[in-house]
Amino acid sequence: MANSNSKLTMRVATALDQPVAEEIRQAAFEPVFASFKSILGNEIYELAQAKEDQAQGNMLNELLAANSEWELYLAEYEGAPVGFLSLKLDATSNVGEIGLNAIHPNRAGIGLGTEMYEFALERMRESGMKVATVATGGDPSHEPARSAYRKAGFDTEIPSVWMCKLLAE
């Protein structure tokens, strides 16, 4: 699927897409993880966040698994892979959720993320969802994602704060 004014296309990802999706994920989240480390400091980061960041790499394999409740799409721009997006459609609650997603940093800032989210919203509408949700970080490294979500129409937010304290031994 593609916007008639865009060269972005979205297609269902397969296991063969895992390496390129992983490459995109690593490139896109490197500045996010660096931001977390900067905010938390080395010691708290290593104790409280590093394992979560490392585990994110396994998520793509889980999203591609045959029994996954998530749909995974690969975004291609001018025929080259530039991003991916996962979404879950809950027919019981009629709530659709955008999950792990990324645009490669060398293609960021030109509206491709917003187009991916518009694709996800259309997919949700087609599936009868009544509400679309997405969660993202509140730190500076997530500002581009928040901006793209807002451009795609996400207009209701609940701020969240994750607080840490290093405990003395």
pLDDT tens-digit map of 33-78: 999 999 999 999 999 999 998 899 899 999 999 899 999 999 999 9
DSSP-based three-state secondary structure for 18: helix
Percent of the chain with pLDDT over 70: 96
Residue 109's pLDDT band (boundaries 50, 70, 90)? confident
pLDDT value of position 163: 92
Secondary structure of 85-137 as H, E, C letters? EEEEEECCCCEEEEEEEEECHHHCCCCHHHHHHHHHHHHHHHCCCCEEEECCC
Is it the case that residue 119 has pLDDT exceeding 50?
yes
15 burial (CB, 10 Å; 0-12 / 13-18 / 19+) is exposed
Report the run of H or E that residue 45 belongs to, with start and end. none
Q: Average pLDDT of 4-9? A: 76
DSSP-based three-state secondary structure for 141: helix
- Which residue type occupies 25? R
Beta-bridge partner residues of 154: none
Q: How many residues does the chain have?
A: 169
Of 4, 33, 6, 24, nearest to 114 by C-alpha is 6
